[in-house]
Amino acid sequence: MPKKSFVSRAEDKWTINDFPQMDRDKLARRLPPITATHFYNLHSCPTRVYLDMHGDHYKRLPLSEFLRQKIAEGVEHERSVLSGLPDLTHIDYETDQEGLHKTLDAMRAGASIISQGVLVHEGMVGRPDLLIRDEGVSIFGPYQYYACDIKSGRSVKFAYQLQVAFYSDLLGKTQGTVPTRAGVILHDGKERRVDLLRVRQRFEEAKQHITSIRDGVKDHPHLCAACKECGWRAVCKEELLGSGDLSLINGLSREYRAAYYNIGIKDITELSQSAVKPSRISQRVADNFRVQARSLIEHSPVLIHKIELPSSQSIIYFDIEGETEQKIYYLLGCLLVQDGVTTYHPFFAEKPSDERQMWNAFLTWIKTIPDFHIIHYHNYEKYALAGLRRKYGCPDELYKTISSHMTDLFKLVKDSIAFPIHSYSIKDLAKSIGFCWRSDTPGGAQSLYWYAIWAKTGDASIKEALLHYNEDDCQAMKHVVEHIQNSFNT
Ligand code: SF4
């Protein structure tokens, strides 16, 4: 059967016969369609694309409250952007086939803006938020369309660019002319252009990769930061633990894993026993991986060298809650240990506009603490303090005193002791040595969720949960320090 042209595709009703023979075979085998979500997820984890397409969805864990809240915010933002657009043609549909027909009808009629249109081509289905009429020529007449997505983020992430490149590719097949323009509307309701030419090659590579995954090629899972919020984490962890995968070692990236594979080291047992290392990995890093592998195999911490812990009259365990993208901070939590007495001092911004007040209250308080030393976990607190100082100021002498009396507990631990854990987040570390949070789902995402709900409802129990969570983070650091003092520094 001769292939139909784009013109006849757009004009006719679509049936399975519109697909070439090869695609009909794939359809018959019920291969899942490729969608824009696959392009988004490929960027963080190809295994996720595979499991989304072929995995047992009963084994997938439910979304966290934080992610549900993010999705709800995204939907709300989209609704608000759409309500401000004039002359909108909205496509309602039950099936993609029906959606496609209605979209083609709207394009044929020259609609100005089409929302929730459906584009289909050879096993790929795109549902761009907007198709916007533009200057040019297409099979529909002296005009063409370009694709635009609505996102609540603040920048055009690369994953968004891949998504609109995917819609543009489908649009080219549908309207007989490839659009040169594409856009993303961000949190402020303003459209940013996406340079389709610049993203073209990476898009083609991604399309090829996703097609091979759709056809059954599976990428090996790799334990990484993206796993924390991924519904497939239980499935992947089981597989990784079963095979003693190298990614169980904290900090061992996909590239490092491939480098170890190239020299024949394929699991943590082999790594723990081998004296050789890939040339691209420094001796110090390779030694650290080896000792971590040993710790995992022996299920026991391994001391690398003794830790020098700060000794001051006043120790402050310090933890800041904030929103990274917008650089807004809403809680500076201080657990003060002084003369054997522990007290918690939270500095809280009841609303984002109270940030300055919170900062000033913190500075006033810390000035009163004699001979203090701050213990924090990782570099977020240093970064946040510098940001708050830039925004609201701080006397030079005081800032110098604060910043020169700070110790990063994460770095101290990471350099000195290998714990039998896969991540050195304060949650994973403290839990592994017996600390319990009052919340079942502690984490920065949960904190943000609580703050958003508190801002909306003013519910005192939510604020209390947030303060408890922050205090527990500080207590967790104290627990780690005491554990080190008792177990390793005696
Ligand atoms: S749990 Fe991790 S490795 Fe598995 S699919 Fe999710 S992100 Fe990928």
pTM here? 0.81
| Ligand 1 centroid distance, CA of 52 (Å) | 10
Give a yes or no: residue 391 inside a domain: yes
Residue carrying structure tokens 């499991």: 51
CATH of the domain at 193: 3.90.320
CA dihedral (376, 379, 383, 386) positive or negative: positive
Q: Are residues 282 and 333 in the same domain?
A: no
Give a yes or no: residue 230 inside a domain: no
Q: Which of 164, 162, 198, 201 is nearest to 49 (CA)?
A: 162
Give a yes or no: residue 429 inside a domain: yes
Q: Which domain holds residue 295?
A: 244-300
Give a yes or no: residue 234 inside a domain: no
Q: Are residues 346 and 401 in the same domain?
A: yes
Q: Are residues 271 and 360 in the same domain?
A: no
Give a yes or no: residue 308 inside a domain: no
| Ligand 1 centroid distance, CA of 311 (Å) | 41
Distance of CA 333 to the CA centre of its chain: 25
Q: Are residues 127 and 190 in the same domain?
A: yes
Give a yes or no: residue 238 inside a domain: no
| Ligand 1 centroid distance, CA of 41 (Å) | 10
Q: What does each of the 490 residues of the chain score in pLDDT, given as a tens digit?
A: 333 333 333 333 343 444 455 554 554 457 889 999 999 999 889 999 999 999 999 999 998 877 888 888 899 999 999 999 989 999 999 999 999 999 999 999 999 999 999 999 999 999 999 999 999 999 999 999 999 999 998 899 999 999 999 999 999 999 999 999 999 999 999 999 999 999 999 999 999 999 999 999 998 999 998 998 899 999 999 999 999 999 999 999 999 999 999 999 999 999 999 999 999 999 999 999 999 999 999 999 999 888 888 888 999 999 999 987 778 899 999 999 999 999 999 999 999 899 999 999 999 999 999 999 999 999 999 999 999 999 999 999 999 999 999 999 999 999 899 999 999 999 999 999 999 998 877 778 888 888 988 988 999 999 999 999 999 999 999 999 999 999 886 5
Give a yes or no: residue 427 inside a domain: yes
CATH of the domain at 479: 3.30.420.10
Find the helix or strand (DSSP H, E) in which 182 lies: strand 182-185
Please give the DSSP secondary-structure letter assigned to residue 282: -
Distance CA 106, CA 86 (A): 15
Protein residue with least CA distance to atom 7, ligand 1: 227
Q: Which of 305, 311, 368, 302 is nearest to 334 (CA)?
A: 368
**Largest interatomic CA distance in the chain:** 87
Q: Are residues 444 and 358 in the same domain?
A: yes
Q: Are residues 321 and 289 in the same domain?
A: no
- The residues lining ligand 1, judged by C-beta closer than 6 Å to any ligand atom, are 45, 47-48, 51, 221-222, 226-227, 230, 232-233, 236
CA atoms within 13 A on the CB side of 59: 12
Mutation pick for ligand 1 pocket among 40, 41, 47, 220 (CB with most ligand atoms within 8 Å): 47
